[in-house]
């Protein structure tokens, strides 16, 4: 067989049957499942710098010594033998504590010392540049004083990927006009009196942009995952989740009652192992076949920045008769030639992903989220 980028092509397996090329937005879509052939240019591989073992050991050693001994007379040893000098509420006998002992110590004596590295107040919109309000602390982070000065910095930590969250320009002007015309909110759930023509227009526009049959929008991105996943799966279902998935996905899995299985981050061999073993053993206790198998991954993982190997997951989905739930919170709008997320990035057919989830809070500089796909899915 001819080689692509020095790697020999393989014949399609049963899970990756060859079909005629499909067309979307004027360009041919290659056959899913061929990870080395889905894009016109080679896709970059994720790579992470490996920390030497001795560096990691000495770093952790210094960190734990700081926790145990402390540097401002409030170390862990002092907390064990002396009454803490921090402010505590009185008359709270019988109340459930907000934090356990270690969590309370960690927040007060570890996190407090370093939180100013990222918990910085700003006085501008999160554009390409951001203005910080300067402040100082004289008591290791217990309190802060503003100096009255400001510092303009490059913004490398915002989700405002496309710069839509500005206080001037077309987006701001359209938002202001929309608020003047329609108001801020309906003050009612959508199922009662809260559905606005703008909701229907947004859902139709979202579905058209993604290239799927329909979409439904929600007012909160986190809840789009945590409250919709339980409607898709239930006890007796298997959920195979990437170990780096977002907390909103984890909460949704816990609420669903389904059986969760975790595979190594972006490791397709481990994903197939989990699928194969879970199908072989069946439901815990009874051994019955699973009612439904759902693979949940993120397009661009929020904490790692890595891109999911979507074509290979689609191939496994077809091989093991599973469904795919793709969280595109960080990839929609910012990934792919036309900004349509990792499906656009790899050039795969949107209909090969059963559930598309995304938010409007990142690239689109707004609020809420969406669920999109075919009407009959699930």
Q: Which helix (H) or strand (E) holds 113?
A: helix 112-114
Do 375 and 214 form a contact (C-beta atoms < 8 A)? Answer: yes
Distance CA 308, CA 48 (A): 15
Q: Which helix (H) or strand (E) holds 344?
A: helix 342-346
- What is the per-residue pLDDT for 77? 64
Distance CA 239, CA 245 (A): 12
Find the catalytic residue in 256, 278, 302, 331.
Answer: 302
- What is the per-residue pLDDT for 83? 61
Predicted confidence pLDDT, tens digits, the chain (378 residues): 333 333 333 334 444 444 444 555 555 544 444 334 444 444 556 666 788 999 999 998 987 777 676 555 455 666 666 666 555 677 777 887 777 777 877 887 778 888 888 889 999 888 788 999 999 998 888 889 999 999 999 988 888 888 888 788 888 898 899 889 888 877 887 888 878 888 999 999 999 999 999 999 998 999 999 999 999 999 999 999 999 999 999 999 999 999 999 999 999 999 999 999 999 999 998 999 999 999 999 999 988 889 999 999 999 999 999 999 999 999 999 899 999 999 999 999 999 999 999 999 999 988 899 999 988 765
Distance CA 359, CA 378 (A): 21
**DSSP β-bridge partners for residue 373:** 214, 355
What's the pTM?
A: 0.73
- What is the per-residue pLDDT for 13? 41
Distance CA 289, CA 284 (A): 10
First to last CA, the chain: 39
Pairing of strands 7-8, 22-24: unpaired
- What is the per-residue pLDDT for 100? 75
- What is the per-residue pLDDT for 170? 86
Do 190 and 368 form a contact (C-beta atoms < 8 A)? Answer: no
User: Whose structure tokens read 């499906």?
Assistant: 343
| Cα angle 85, 90, 95; round to 5 | 115
Domain architecture of the chain: domains with CATH: 198-373 (3.40.640.10)
Distance CA 183, CA 193 (A): 14
What secondary structure does DSSP assign to 163-228, as a single string? S---SSSHHHHHHHHHHHHH-S--SS-IIIII--HHHHHHHHHHHHHHTSSEEEEES-HHHHHHTT
Find the catalytic residue in 74, 226, 330, 363.
Answer: 330
Catalytic residue status for 302:
yes
Which residues neighbour 268 within 8 Å (Cβ) at sequence distance 6 or greater?
A: 309, 312, 313, 316
- What is the per-residue pLDDT for 8? 39
Q: What count of Cα atoms within 13 Å lies in the side-chain half-sphere of residue 118?
A: 6
């Amino acid at each position: 067989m001819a080689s692509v980028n020095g790697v020999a092509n393989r014949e399609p397996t049963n899970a990756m049957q060859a079909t005629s090329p499909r067309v979307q937005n004027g360009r041919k879509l290659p056959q899913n499942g061929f990870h080395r052939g889905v894009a016109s240019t080679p896709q970059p591989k994720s790579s992470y710098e490996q920390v030497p073992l001795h560096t990691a050991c000495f770093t952790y050693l210094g960190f734990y010594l700081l926790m145990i001994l402390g540097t401002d007379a409030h170390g862990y040893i002092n907390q064990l033998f002396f009454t803490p000098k921090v402010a505590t509420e009185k008359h709270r006998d019988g109340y459930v504590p907000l934090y356990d002992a270690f969590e309370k110590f960690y927040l007060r004596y570890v996190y407090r010392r370093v939180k100013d590295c990222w918990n910085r107040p700003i006085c501008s919109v999160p554009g390409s540049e951001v203005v910080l309000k300067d402040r100082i602390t004289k008591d290791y982070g217990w309190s802060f004083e503003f100096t009255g000065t400001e510092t303009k910095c490059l913004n490398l930590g915002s989700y405002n990927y496309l710069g839509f969250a500005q206080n001037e320009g077309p987006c701001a002007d359209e938002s202001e006009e929309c608020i003047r015309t329609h108001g801020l909110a309906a003050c009612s759930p959508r199922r009662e009196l809260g559905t606005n023509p703008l909701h229907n227009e947004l859902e139709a526009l979202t579905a058209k942009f993604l290239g799927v049959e329909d979409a439904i929008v929600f007012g909160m991105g986190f809840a789009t995952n945590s409250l919709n996943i339980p409607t898709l799966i239930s006890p007796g279902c298997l959920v195979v989740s990437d170990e780096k998935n977002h907390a909103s996905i984890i909460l949704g899995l816990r609420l669903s009652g389904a059986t969760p299985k975790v595979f190594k981050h972006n490791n397709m061999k481990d994903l197939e192992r989990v699928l194969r073993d879970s199908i072989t053993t069946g439901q815990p206790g009874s051994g019955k076949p699973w009612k439904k198998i759902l693979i949940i991954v993120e397009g661009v993982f929020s904490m790692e920045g890595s891109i999911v190997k979507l074509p290979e997951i689609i191939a496994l989905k077809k091989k093991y008769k599973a469904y795919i739930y793709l969280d595109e919170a960080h990839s929609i709008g910012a990934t792919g030639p036309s900004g349509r997320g990792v499906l656009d990035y790899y050039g795969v057919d949107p209909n090969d992903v059963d559930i598309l989830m995304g938010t409007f809070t990142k690239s689109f500089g707004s609020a809420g989220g969406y669920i999109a796909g075919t009407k009959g899915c699930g």
